[in-house]
Structure 1
């Protein structure tokens, strides 16, 4: 599975970074989150899905 970030919706609140720090990080400008893996490893999928679900701006989308 892959995750995409909508940069127009992301406000860099970093909820996803807190939930799945091996999948997400804040960009250099600390305003938009970046996905740091091309494919989410199976062992991180549960945390990544939770991060997508908890995003306050609904800026994350799962691509199967």
Structure 2
């Protein structure tokens, strides 16, 4: 699995962090998404997919 983010699309809602805190975080200064692990272990795949699905700005792309 490969994950990428488009920080220009991010609106700082934080749904990704709630869905996959081991994969995503937010910058303190503006809440924009930070990718902690672009190639997470298999145990995080479902959480990463869920984070992409709930992102209101569609800023997260997940590829198998």
Segments of 4+ moved more than 4 angstroms: none
User: TM-score, structure 2 length as denominator?
Assistant: 0.88
Q: Is the 8 A contact 2:20 2:47 kept in 1?
A: yes
RMSD over aligned CA atoms reads 1.2
Extract unaligned runs of 5+ from structure 1: none
Give the Å deviation of 1:29: 2.1
Aligned residue runs from structure 1 range 2-21, under 5 A:
2-21=2-21
Aligned residue runs from structure 1 range 1-64, under 5 A:
1-64=1-64
Residues 4-27 of structure 1, C-alpha deviations (whole Å, 9 max, x = no match): 111111011110100110000002
User: TM-score, structure 1 length as denominator?
Assistant: 0.88
Give the Å deviation of 1:33: 0.4
Equivalences, count: 64
Extract unaligned runs of 5+ from structure 2: none
